[in-house]
Amino acid sequence: MTCINLPSTLEPVGLTNDRRRSDGLTLGPWYKGLSLVWDATVMNAFPWGHYKDTARQTGFMNTKAEDAKCQKNHDLQSNYHFPPVVIETTGMYGKSTAPFLSGLAKKLVDVSGDTREHQWLHQHLSLAVVRGNTASILACVQGLSDIIHSFFSCMSSESSFFL
């Protein structure tokens, strides 16, 4: 938010009574005189329990997550502008996320004067999702390699027993 000359704070305390923390809050007006509160989520596009739903409807997990965010944060919506920001692991934006990001990109272009800011914002977010996916895969592979290593270590010690 500093890029668009709008001061903000990360993980603000005291917006709700139940100790929930959003990802950030602008300290000035964002939309219709209201400060922006954001809470971003990256959803697994292919969860085990919903694979049939995700196969039938594009963006199913985004829609589900956006609805849950709106319901969970309904108390914030009267005092703040709260767009639910949800991106699937495939890189697809939620229905509310796309207009919010377009508005943010427009503000970036207005401040910098460079029309490429829009593409750079989307590229930055895409790379963040790819990095998250990579970390997730490597964590699984690392866990699997530990199991395989343990299995073969066990097998080699047992095979020496029979020699």
Token pair belonging to 100: 């919010």
Q: Is 87 exposed, middle or buried (0-12, 13-18, 19+ CB in 10 A)?
A: buried
Per-residue pLDDT 10s for the chain (163 aa) are 777 878 888 877 777 767 777 778 888 888 888 888 888 888 887 777 776 776 677 777 788 888 888 888 888 878 888 888 888 888 888 888 889 899 999 989 999 999 999 899 999 999 988 888 888 777 777 666 666 566 556 544 444 433 3
pTM attached to this predicted model: 0.72
Residue ranges per domain, the chain?
2-162
Helix axes 97-112, 117-162, angle to 10 degrees: 120
In this predicted structure, what is the pLDDT of residue 151? 57
